[in-house]
């Protein structure tokens, strides 16, 4: 019986080959930043209020003129198709069912147009900038396909030192080896699913949105070989291309939040990339209040990195976040049983959220603030 996110994690570990699970679950260097995310969230204390009417719990919020049924969404994650073929579409469908946003990664394994056609839902597009021309094409395609917000990830000037991936020889395209062959053979369910669908690739990396980008472009994306000349002045280039809300993901410093305000950014996501980039970075939950204080309510501030329970979402909201985004838990659910597993994870988080709000004496999200 899967009763919490850790149960889904254990199921994913059994289901996925080691090199895939390690890619999903791994972190930078010694994993201390990822551990701080968990420890610092666990250390946040919330003092309940009593004798309040919690007959009805309203978990909805409004963001950029759109109603969300719950104050959390699905964070952008790459290579979802490696966990489960068609994973991007499955996550988008699960998010639509629960009335929450799904952020599609530039490193998705489905074309952004195909994901946009999966049911009704709030779709955001995450952007990595490796080459300006390619990034510009993705932005224009996302605008045309109806994505409602653009999320520029700003904490990846270079890839974090992900030691598990190095040990496993993780790369795209995959390099055959006896170790890889044994890993695949000993996970037959995953192997059959992947064999039927074919090896995943980064489907958005050709100019016209073809089935696969060039090998060089795919390798650059996997290695996070980004355009390091991208600076604050570059936001003007994006503003010319993108007409909707523009958010920066990966902001941890209050002064960067103030610069973003000055540059007209519409929202911030406080994030350390789930501990996958800089091992010395502060936890997202510790950085959150500083960023919230800096912007003084002028733009929404979201957070991700380390959310494993609905109660973690409540903690983020109580510390000033507009909403939280959840990453790895959805991939654990996807590995366990596809779209049904992802929906089970969302249902679990929603139930925990409602219970935590009730115990806090909060009948609405605004009560938590």
pLDDT (0 to 100) of residue 337: 97
Q: What average pLDDT does this structure show over 93-107?
A: 98
Paired residues of 194 in beta bridges: none
pLDDT (0 to 100) of residue 220: 63
Identify the band that residue 210 occupies on the pLDDT scale cut at 50, 70 and 90: very low
Determine how many CB atoms are found less than 10 A away from the CB of residue 241: 16
Contact 332, 354 (CB under 8 A): no
Q: What average pLDDT does this structure show over 206-211?
A: 49
What SS3 state is found at 99? coil
Dihedral Cα 295, 296, 298, 299, nearest 10 deg: 50
Question: At a CB cut-off of 8 Å and minimum separation 6, what does 93 contact?
Answer: 118, 119, 121, 339
Q: What average pLDDT does this structure show over 61-80?
A: 98
Residue in 81, 78, 89, 85 with CA at minimum distance from that of residue 123: 89
Residue 171 pLDDT > 90: no
Mean per-residue pLDDT over the chain, rounded:
94
Please tell me whether the overall predicted TM-score, pTM, comes out greater than 0.85 for this model.
yes
pLDDT (0 to 100) of residue 212: 43
- Paired tokens of 212: 């696969």
Determine how many CB atoms are found less than 10 A away from the CB of residue 206: 16
pLDDT, one tens digit per residue, over 7-61 is 999 999 999 999 999 999 999 999 999 999 999 999 999 999 999 999 999 999 9
pLDDT (0 to 100) of residue 6: 98
Stated length of the chain: 369
Residue 174 pLDDT > 60: yes
Q: How far apart are CA 134 and CA 139, in angstroms?
A: 9
Identify the band that residue 246 occupies on the pLDDT scale cut at 50, 70 and 90: very high
Contact 253, 293 (CB under 8 A): no
What SS3 state is found at 153? strand
- Listing DSSP states for 226-267 in one string gives --TT--GGGHHHHHHH--S-EEEEEE--HHHHHHHHHTT--E
Q: Are β-strands 323-326 and 72-74 bridged in parallel, bridged antiparallel, or unpaired?
A: parallel
Query: Looking at 7-11, 171-175, 274-278, 356-360, which range is the least confident one?
Result: 171-175
Residue 245 pLDDT > 50: yes
Determine how many CB atoms are found less than 10 A away from the CB of residue 135: 21
Residue 214 pLDDT > 60: no
- Paired tokens of 191: 């192997």
Q: What average pLDDT does this structure show over 51-72?
A: 98
Q: What average pLDDT does this structure show over 129-144?
A: 95
Residue 250 pLDDT > 60: yes
- Listing DSSP states for 173-185 in one string gives SPPP-HHHHHHHH
Identify the band that residue 209 occupies on the pLDDT scale cut at 50, 70 and 90: very low
What SS3 state is found at 3? coil
What SS3 state is found at 364? strand
Q: What is the DSSP letter of 58?
A: B
pLDDT, one tens digit per residue, over 313-330 is 999 999 999 999 999 999
Give me the catalytic one of 131, 144, 253, 273.
273
Provide Rg for the chain, Cα atoms. 20
pLDDT (0 to 100) of residue 160: 95
Q: How far apart are CA 364 and CA 323, in angstroms?
A: 13
pLDDT, one tens digit per residue, over 336-355 is 999 999 999 999 999 999 99
Q: How far apart are CA 255 and CA 291, in angstroms?
A: 8
Report how far apart the first and last C-alpha atoms of the chain are (Å, whole number).
34
Q: Is 273 noted as a catalytic residue in this protein?
A: yes
Identify the band that residue 219 occupies on the pLDDT scale cut at 50, 70 and 90: low
Q: How far apart are CA 276 and CA 287, in angstroms?
A: 16
Residue 124 pLDDT > 70: yes
């Amino acid at each position: 019986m899967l009763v919490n996110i850790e149960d889904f994690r254990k199921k994913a570990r059994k289901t996925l080959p080691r090199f895939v699970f390690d890619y999903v679950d791994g972190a930078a260097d010694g994993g201390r930043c990822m551990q701080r995310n968990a420890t610092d969230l666990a250390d946040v204390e919330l003092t309940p209020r009593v004798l309040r009417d919690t007959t009805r719990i309203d978990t909805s919020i409004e963001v950029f003129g759109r109603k969300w049924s719950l104050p959390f969404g699905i964070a952008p994650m790459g290579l979802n198709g490696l966990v489960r073929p068609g994973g991007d579409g499955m996550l988008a469908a699960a998010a639509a069912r629960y009335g929450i946003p799904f952020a599609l990664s530039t490193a998705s394994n489905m074309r952004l147009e195909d994901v946009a056609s999966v049911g009704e839902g709030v779709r955001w597009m995450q952007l990595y900038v490796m080459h300006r021309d390619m990034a510009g094409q993705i932005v224009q395609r996302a605008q045309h396909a109806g994505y409602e917000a653009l999320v520029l990830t700003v904490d990846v000037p270079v890839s974090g030192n992900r030691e598990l991936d190095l040990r496993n020889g993780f790369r795209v395209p995959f390099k055959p080896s006896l170790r890889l062959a044994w890993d695949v053979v000993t996970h037959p369910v995953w192997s059959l699913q992947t064999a039927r669908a074919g090896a995943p690739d980064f489907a958005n990396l050709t100019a016209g949105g073809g089935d696969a980008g060039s090998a060089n472009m795919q390798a650059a994306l996997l290695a996070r070989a980004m355009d390091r000349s991208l600076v604050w002045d570059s936001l003007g280039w994006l503003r010319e291309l993108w007409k909707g809300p523009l958010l920066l993901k990966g902001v941890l410093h209050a002064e960067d939040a103030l610069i973003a305000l000055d540059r007209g950014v519409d929202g911030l996501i406080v994030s350390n990339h789930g501990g996958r980039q800089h091992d010395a970075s502060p936890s997202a939950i510790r950085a959150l209040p500083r960023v919230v204080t800096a912007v003084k309510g002028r733009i929404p501030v979201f957070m991700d990195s380390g959310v494993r329970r609905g109660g973690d979402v409540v903690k983020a909201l109580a510390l000033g976040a507009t909403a939280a985004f959840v990453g790895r838990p959805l991939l654990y659910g996807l590995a366990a049983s596809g779209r049904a597993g992802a929906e089970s994870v969302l249902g679990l988080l929603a139930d925990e959220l409602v219970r935590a709000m009730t115990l806090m004496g909060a009948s609405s999200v605004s009560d938590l603030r």
